[in-house]
Amino acid sequence: MPRSTTRRSSPCTHGPSCPACGTATRTSKAAVRAPSTTSGWCKNIIKVCASGGVLSVIDDPLHQEFTVRELRTIVEVAGLAERSVAAHCHGKPGIMTALEAGVLTIEHGSYLDDEACTAMREAGAILVPTLTIIRELLDGGGLPPYAARKLADIARVHRDNIARAHQAGVRIAMGTDIQSSGDAPAAWGRHGREVVLLNDIGMNPLDVIEAATANDPATLGRQAPRSGLLHEGFDADILVVDGDPLSDISLLADPSKITAVWQAGTLVKGRRGCVTPAPVAVCAPLSHPESVRRPTYSLHYR
């Protein structure tokens, strides 16, 4: 599991205070260079916004925000430093453009249709559905009207299209892009909801666990750490679950059922010798959102 305690990007649903938006630039050369001049940012990956967002004021999730030429340049220059490119992307035009340019991961994928799913599968791209943030925003309400309208449009199709992608064989990794501190929707201890929502769209528990373990490091491309598998030479990232998540995946969303956590071999939750009888060990960053899975830097033009 990639580890970082640094989260510098705002959720790429782009609230008005988004620091990334404030530093973004339209030109692809400058866009690629900007993170490298910001110490501590973008250690593992370059993240771009290939479509508009939900909480942002003036854009549209259906609109793409870079040309394929711009994205190709970003992918090319990122590749010089062995960085892959992730794309926040709701609308199909942005998804198709990102895939054509060689972007590795599509975040959200709200308007994936059959053609886009095929393109993702053939490109070997990875989908990060971020179901939690959609649900939490719907449940929480209180959005300004412009954002509520965009969210409602996305919510009508997002779940079905993620299910479509799964059925089409698109590789899925678990993650989210909302703040993970305080009482934010995906705050520590709450973001396990994503495993339940992935199960709800038709992924069986083992698929969900794979999405949250083996598939997550792959989203870092050549920066992927040796983690996500219980295997010699890999980081010992292990959860101990009081119960069988293959029978009840919601156990992974309940912190009280996670009785011990080892991170790179270091016990960070639970006590040595406290493991309950017949525990189920899951190699994981199951309880870690995208912000820890990979430090990101959102580039966005306003």
| Cα(253)–Cα(188) distance, integer angstroms | 11
Q: How are beta strands 280-283 and 238-241 bridged, if at all?
A: antiparallel
CB of 290 to Zn ion, least distance (A): 9
Residues 278-297 that bind Zn ion (CB under 5 A): none
Residues 170-199 that bind Zn ion (CB under 5 A): 177
| Cα(1)–Cα(283) distance, integer angstroms | 9
Residues 61-120 that bind Zn ion (CB under 5 A): 88
Closer to Zn ion by Cβ: residue 12 or 196: 12
| Cα(144)–Cα(148) distance, integer angstroms | 6
Q: How are beta strands 258-263 and 266-269 bridged, if at all?
A: antiparallel
Type of residue at 114? D
Closer to Zn ion by Cβ: residue 12 or 18: 12
Closer to Zn ion by Cβ: residue 88 or 190: 88
CB of 177 to Zn ion, least distance (A): 5
Near Zn ion by CB under 5 A, which window of 8-16, 149-157, 192-200, 266-274?
8-16
CB of 47 to Zn ion, least distance (A): 9
Residue with tokens 């910001």: 38
**∠ CA 11-64-162, rounded to 5°:** 65
CB of 49 to Zn ion, least distance (A): 7
Near Zn ion by CB under 5 A, which window of 140-148, 169-177, 208-216, 287-295?
169-177
The SS3 assignment for 19 reads helix
**Contact (CB, 8 A) for 212 and 285:** yes
Decide if residue 20 touches Zn ion (CB under 5 A): no
**On the CB side of 21, how many CA atoms lie within 13 Å of its CA?**
19
Ranked by CB distance to Zn ion, the top (closest) residue is: 12
Number of residues forming the site for Zn ion (CB under 5 A) = 3
**Contact (CB, 8 A) for 103 and 71:** yes
Residue numbers annotated as active site: 47, 177
Decide if residue 12 touches Zn ion (CB under 5 A): yes
Closer to Zn ion by Cβ: residue 58 or 80: 58
How does DSSP classify residue 93? H
Largest CA-CA distance found in the chain, in angstroms, rounded? 58
Structure tokens at 270: 């639970």
Structure tokens at 27: 């030109």
Near Zn ion by CB under 5 A, which window of 10-18, 95-103, 230-238, 244-252?
10-18
Closer to Zn ion by Cβ: residue 136 or 248: 136
For the CA atoms of 126, 3, 10, 145, the dihedral, rounded to the nearest 10 degrees, stands at 60
CB of 108 to Zn ion, least distance (A): 5
* 37 C-beta neighbours (distance < 10 Å), count: 10
CB of 53 to Zn ion, least distance (A): 6
Closer to Zn ion by Cβ: residue 49 or 252: 49
Decide if residue 260 touches Zn ion (CB under 5 A): no
Residues forming the site for Zn ion (CB under 5 A): 12, 88, 177
